[in-house]
Amino acid sequence: MENKKELKKNLGVFAALATVVGSVIGSGVFFKPQAIYAATGGAPGLGMIAWIVAGVASIAGALTFAEVAIMIPKTGGMVAYLKEIYNPLVGFLAGWIQTLIFYPAMISALAVACATQASLFIGEGFVVPVAIGVIISIIFLNNLGSKVGGAVQIIFTVCKLIPLFILMIFGFARGGGGNPVFTPMVGEGLNPAIVLGSLMVSILFAFEGWTNVGAIAGEMKRPGKDLPIAIVGGVSVIMAVYFVINLAYLQVLPSSELANLAAPASAVAIAIFGDVGGKIISIGIMISVYGACNGFILSGSRVAYSLAKEGEIPFSRVFSKLNKAQVPSNSIYLVGGIGALYAVSGQFNLLTDVAVFASWTFYTLTFLGVMKLRKDQPEAVRTYRVPLYPVVPIVAVISGIYVIISRVFLSGLQATLLSIASMTVTLIGVPVYYATRNGKKGKTLKSKKSIDVA
């Protein structure tokens, strides 16, 4: 009976768009300005331009990604796309790395960020237990059904935008406005090309999550119509919010000061409203990060479920089960549980750096997949086509390659080692794939023999 259950198609365009915006606008907009201006040597110019460059890259990626998502509107998102475009192994490896590294790393990093903000109210010694508690609470909510998970996204997306708009409005209204915004580009002695690589990695983390809606396409009422709106509309809103709020930051504090502040948004709020303002923004950050964490558990569990449904991971029968609310509860426990284990480390930047590299490797393969599908299936029905083809997909592919090269060669020894570690985990997935495939073949042959004997 369990195998006959299907995921309910009850997610509309607003829940899908909220999944994009909710998953993306999380910790990056609050924490990354420090890393950005530290990389530029305290200069604002290239940092502000990089928000636009990363936004354009993300929109190009979203526009490209949408064509694949519409052609293959299956639960599992990128895993399903890569299986159909290339072969089952490539799709499996994408799901493997997402299940073991990307989603759990993002979940744990966001939970740690949420707990770090909570430490302002409860003290410094509770970050890890609070982070684990955040993950457990979201696991519970998502087990109540996809409608509940989608509703949580809508509610928390609305709630998180309130403090963001307050910061933007009062930043411009009360800020002195005398700080430079676009000059100088970088500090003395820095190479803009190398600095831009570091900035892209940092800022693209702030944009991370725009593909999450593709993973829940199988639960959307009208994926052909709603998916492009959710992806492109969501990324456009995010880019506008990021750029404007960073302008607002610079109206209050100079980039050289933001480079030395671990929580620049709170510092800006304190400068505008005093100590009370800092606490208000911290609450807003907690709400924002909680919503983002929910989005990654909602989408990540569907990736694990998709792999399990195909019998491609160990204990697939367990992780492919749906509960009474018709959601993949065991897959939710799997992805959330690994995230809780990672959260014990309490390492925000370490986890996010690994996640970004892992995700953009397979994003780039997906972008290339649009061109491959155009060549292999020219007569296929496409209710949505990438505008300005092939320019937009080429921009997306170049952006992805640049991110990968930057992480491996231009971002320092630690980044190189983390990238190698990510690639190693990916390669470990190869023998796992063939072992599970051989196991499925063995079961099929055994079943056939039993039928013949009977």
- Taken in order of first residue, the domains within the chain and their CATH numbers are 11-373+387-440 (1.20.1740.10)
Torsion of CA 95, 97, 100, 102, to 10 degrees: -100
* Pairwise pLDDT comparison (260 vs 285), residue with the higher score: 260
The 10s digit of each residue's pLDDT in 154-188 is: 777 677 677 788 888 988 988 877 889 988 999 98
Distance CA 150, CA 390 (A): 34
Alpha helices for 220-274 (secondary structure H): 223-228, 234-252, 255-258, 264-273
Residue 372 three-state SS: helix
Average pLDDT score over residue span 200-212: 81
Distance CA 428, CA 374 (A): 32
Please tell me what DSSP assigns to residue 191: -
Dihedral sign from CA coordinates of 47, 49, 51, 56: negative
The 10s digit of each residue's pLDDT in 297-356 is: 888 888 888 888 888 888 888 888 888 888 888 999 999 999 999 999 888 877 887 888
Distance CA 312, CA 306 (A): 9
Distance CA 135, CA 289 (A): 11
Distance CA 214, CA 374 (A): 20
Q: What is the mean pLDDT of the chain?
A: 83
Lowest mean pLDDT among 140-144, 256-260, 372-376: 140-144
The 10s digit of each residue's pLDDT in 286-297 is: 887 888 888 888
Alpha helices for 310-412 (secondary structure H): 316-319, 329-343, 348-376, 391-405
pLDDT of residue 139: 92
Of 365, 312, 316, 357, which Cα lies nearest the Cα of 89? 312
Q: Is the pLDDT of residue 445 over 60?
A: no
* Pairwise pLDDT comparison (356 vs 361), residue with the higher score: 361
pLDDT of residue 150: 67
**CA distances from residue 383 to 16, 69, 86, 210, 226 in whole angstroms, order as listed:** 18, 11, 22, 20, 12
Distance CA 157, CA 287 (A): 9
The 10s digit of each residue's pLDDT in 390-403 is: 999 999 999 999 98
Is the link from the previous residue into 33 a cis peptide, with omega within 30 of 0? no
Q: Is the pLDDT of residue 242 over 50?
A: yes
pLDDT of residue 214: 60
Distance CA 78, CA 76 (A): 6
Q: Can you say whether residue 145 is alpha, beta or left, with left for phi > 0 and alpha for psi between -120 and 50 degrees?
A: left
Residue-level length of the chain: 454
- Quick count: other Cβ atoms within 10 Å of Cβ 13? 18
Q: Which residues lie below 8 Å from residue 449, measured CB to CB, with a gap of 6+?
A: none
Contact 348, 27 (CB under 8 A): yes
pLDDT of residue 325: 80
For 374, list phi and psi in degrees, rounded to 5: -60, -35
pLDDT of residue 364: 94
The 10s digit of each residue's pLDDT in 30-46 is: 878 888 999 999 999 99
pLDDT of residue 2: 46
Q: Which amino acid, one-letter code, is at 19?
A: T
* Pairwise pLDDT comparison (9 vs 374), residue with the higher score: 374
pLDDT of residue 1: 41
